[in-house]
A and B are shown apart, each in its own frame.
Chain A
């Protein structure tokens, strides 16, 4: 339920008590209070082809700090793995946190946000909502800055190269009514290089709002490969913002599977700030039932010789909606830059609604850019060919779809995550 100005500000005392209870640094409390005052004055972000002003996104979380009345058993969702770099959170609690000694020795920090704010306040401050996502950008980011109630901090120091993926699993606790205001901050120091994978799930079916912000901030020369499988629940209404901010010659490559079952806005953005930096965003989405998912990918070329690629493929079933907005924005001064995008949607039902909406905004002459977009059905020639070899219609359709979504699946480094994504897709397809 959306509240009036006075009512947001009325949370000021509770918010202060919440922040003090967590021993947050003063700058953090100040950011919360400033954001709280701004919520009402700021507008909702404009998402092309979507009206969502009636979506229940502004649920204020429980600020008492009391433990949830029902808790989630993480082992329902995960396997026990020794000695992997892993953080598992159920609801607002961190239940597993493991980091190999070798990485600790190198100065890698991989811990929950509250601990990070207590133990490394200055490091968090360098990147938290100051580079990628800003509190005063819109109503949703302000709400997030004010009410963020849990999260994760990953810091990889200068020149540290990590081969094995770092893994985070977040299980929203919808056994209870509470807003899910999660913040993930990934801070890649100069010339560091690593893989990070994350998974979002929901346990329970209470109607909850989520406001999730994931920031990836790179310093010069850092290389981050980020992958995610999102499977938030049917009764979770989510605004999901993943945003990268690149320094000189760094790169952020995203591979994201939007497999949620509720209504979700996914803002997947990267600001290519440093000269010679690049991003490659691959996203797949499957919408089913009556849900709406909008994937709004926005790459801004700010620095010279920056390269941005957006690649989005999606499948729609039943009466669901799936919209891809691909926004490539080359700013004046970003000479030698390149903005490319491809968005394709496959409709598997007459009642499905799909949209692939390419937008190129170019303010500089010396650049290259291109786009491709389509909304269509499974090619009858392809189906005929597969079936002419004896493969049944449903199996042929599954093969075509898997092929269509394959590019993102292959980009995920962790096998278990890839298998999980494939299984989730199959489950969505067979639930028809």
Chain B
């Protein structure tokens, strides 16, 4: 069992403090959801955990099995077991999707244990079938010219190929139609199990109809303000963030979509 623990995390962008002390603890075998209004720091949290260069951690720790990942380079964090699926992945011409994924998988393996082409293709075909992706997408350039839905499927494909310990999904559901949402959920549910944990960041409850979380955290104004079970997201859907704010006695200005 692996544990991911976020302790008193403060993060700034260009001297503006976005996260003001986030605490969260999860372990493999669990799926956690983070919900919250826009501009509340959900994406900042995911980017800071992965190590995006634009985000500055001013205080706190992110521990993976007791080791502070904030002291690692981005690629080291990934090899330690972290994965982040994003809404707007980079488009990189000239590198095929397949070539990229094989490089990613082999970056985790020793020189004498690299994944061979045949094993790779077998696994790739299998995972692409789960996600209803046409074979030719493997040979297309990495995200280049992909639609929004294709990009998100491709993020989930990478997740399934790389098989990380902890995956953070940052608003992977936004802009997806119901069919695509079901496919993406199918991919994540297929990963569910003892050796895998996921932190799903979402603005809406609907993704959680397909992926039932074990724990739901509500974030507002740079902090986790409430933690509960799967029913918390349903309560939120019924009452809205305003209702929750009243309940908690918070006075936060919400940013409209």
Contact = CB atoms under 8 A, between A and B. Distances in A.
B78 A387 contact: yes
A21 interface: no
Interface residues of A, number: 24
Contacts of B75: 387-388, 390-393, 396
Interface string B31-68: 00000000000000000001111000000000000000
A391 B103 CA distance: 7
Interface string A375-408: 0000111101111111111011001101111110
B191 to A, nearest CB: 16
Contact of A391 (B77, B83, B93, B107): B107
Contacts, number: 77
B84 to A, nearest CB: 6
Contacts of A392: 75, 107
B90 A403 contact: no
Given A396-B75, A403-B95, A391 B104 contact: yes
B78 A406 contact: no
Given A395-B107, A396-B75, A403-B141, A389 B100 contact: yes
Contact of A387 (B73, B89, B93): B73
Contacts of A390: 75, 78-79, 104, 107-108, 162
A395 B103 contact: yes
A402 B52 CA distance: 23
B74 interface: yes
Q: Is the interface of A mostly helix, strand, loop or mixed?
A: helix
A407 B162 contact: no
B94 interface: yes
A403 B108 contact: no
Contacts of B107: 389-392, 395
Could you say which of A379, A391, A405 has the most chain B C-beta atoms within 10 Å of its C-beta?
A: A391
A404 B94 contact: yes
B202 interface: no
A385 B89 contact: yes
Contacts of B101: 389
A389 B83 CA distance: 7
B103 A393 contact: no
Interface of A: 379-382, 384-393, 395-396, 399-400, 402-407
22 contacts: A381-B90, A382-B90, A384-B53, A388-B50, A388-B77, A388-B83, A389-B78, A389-B162, A390-B107, A391-B75, A392-B75, A399-B92, A400-B92, A400-B95, A402-B95, A403-B92, A403-B94, A403-B142, A406-B93, A406-B94, A406-B95, A407-B94
The 5 closest A-B pairs by CB, nearest first: A403-B94, A406-B94, A390-B78, A389-B104, A385-B90
